[in-house]
Amino acid sequence: MKRIAIFGSGRGSNAKNIIEYFKFHKNISIKLMVTNKSGAGIITVGKENKIPTLIIEDHKQDLNDKILKTLTENLIDFVVLAGFLLKIPSTLINKFPNCIINIHPALLPKYGGKGMYGINVHKAVLKNNETVSGITIHFVNEDYDKGEIIFQAKCSVLPNDSPKLLSKKIQKLEHQFYPIIIEKLITNEH
Ligand code: GRF
């Protein structure tokens, strides 16, 4: 059984979707949630599914030590970031080589980097009159949104789309593809 931890700072819709997808899976199980926001929706998702949740403070030391300790204690094999807004420390990246992935709500390498999260991404895409946007699933390295790309899916951007409407289209893609890609990665390579 491969044991997954999901990290998130937001609503937790991806976390919820991933948990549901793997609920009865033979080889993959969600064993831990990690968040840095005490009021995050992702905590409720963890509670509802009886998955232990680590809530961390924003201090670097805390992030390093507590996360590493908890991942080790819970025998975690693979880390899935779903809207986690803190930078992942290099100690963690080194401990989980090619075993930490993230989903980004745009087609990287465009619209990535610091400050490019949530609605900011969609506003930037619309401002540049892009006709296509989408999702990127990628490995996590020391640079924000710069790790090797694993998968992308596209959707059209229409002239009248608002940032909110675009975010809905993108979340639909995220929910459709993130669990499948996680499953493929873990089943084929781990
Ligand atoms: C997603 O749109 C994801 O692309 C981004 O953060 C958002 C998280 O949404 N990295 P949710 O908390 O899963 O609803």
- Summarised one tens digit per residue, pLDDT across range 88-139 is 988 899 999 999 999 999 999 999 988 899 999 999 999 999 999 999 999 9
Amino acid 65: pLDDT? 84
Atom 10 of ligand 1, nearest CA residue: 83
Q: pLDDT of 74-85, one tens digit each?
A: 999 999 999 998
Amino acid 6: pLDDT? 98
Q: Which of 2-11, 136-145, 149-158 has the lowest mean pLDDT?
A: 136-145
More confident residue, 34 or 60: 34
Amino acid 59: pLDDT? 64
Indicate whether 87 pLDDT > 90.
no
CA of 10 to the centre of ligand 1 (A): 7
Average pLDDT, stretch 49-75?
A: 87
Amino acid 60: pLDDT? 64
For residue 158, the tally of other CB atoms under 10 A from its CB is: 11
Q: What is the 3-state secondary structure (H, E, C) of 32-97?
A: EEEECCCCCHHHHHHHHCCCCEEECCCCHHHHHHHHHHHHHHCCCCEEEECCCCCCCCHHHHHHCC
- For residue 58, what pLDDT band results from cuts at 50, 70 and 90? low
Ligand 1 pocket, 46 CB below 6 A?
no
Ligand 1 pocket, 134 CB below 6 A?
no
Q: Locate the ligand 1 atom nearest the alpha carbon of residue 15 and give its number.
A: 13
Active-site residue, 104 included: yes
Nearest to 107 by CA among 115, 98, 99, 116: 116
Among candidate residues 104, 122, 138, 175, the one labeled active-site is: 104
Ligand 1 pocket, 112 CB below 6 A?
no
Instruction: Say which residue the tokens 């790790």 belong to.
Output: 147
Nearest to 161 by CA among 153, 170, 152: 170
Q: Locate the ligand 1 atom nearest the alpha carbon of residue 40 and give its number.
A: 12
Amino acid 190: pLDDT? 47
Nearest to 28 by CA among 95, 80, 82: 80
Ligand 1 pocket, 44 CB below 6 A?
no
More confident residue, 157 or 39: 157
Q: Sheet harboring 2-7: ordered strands across?
A: 53-55, 28-35, 2-7, 78-81, 100-104, 132-139, 149-156
DSSP codes, 99-152 = -EEEEESS-TTTT-STT--THHHHHHHHHTT-SEEEEEEEE--SSTT-SPEEEE
The CA distances from residue 120 to 44, 132, 161, 171, in Å, are 25, 16, 14, 15
The total number of residues shown for the chain amounts to: 190
Ligand 1 pocket, 93 CB below 6 A?
no
Q: Locate the ligand 1 atom nearest the alpha carbon of residue 167 and give its number.
A: 2
Q: Locate the ligand 1 atom nearest the alpha carbon of residue 174 and give its number.
A: 4
* Domains, the chain, ordered by start: 2-189 (3.40.50.170)
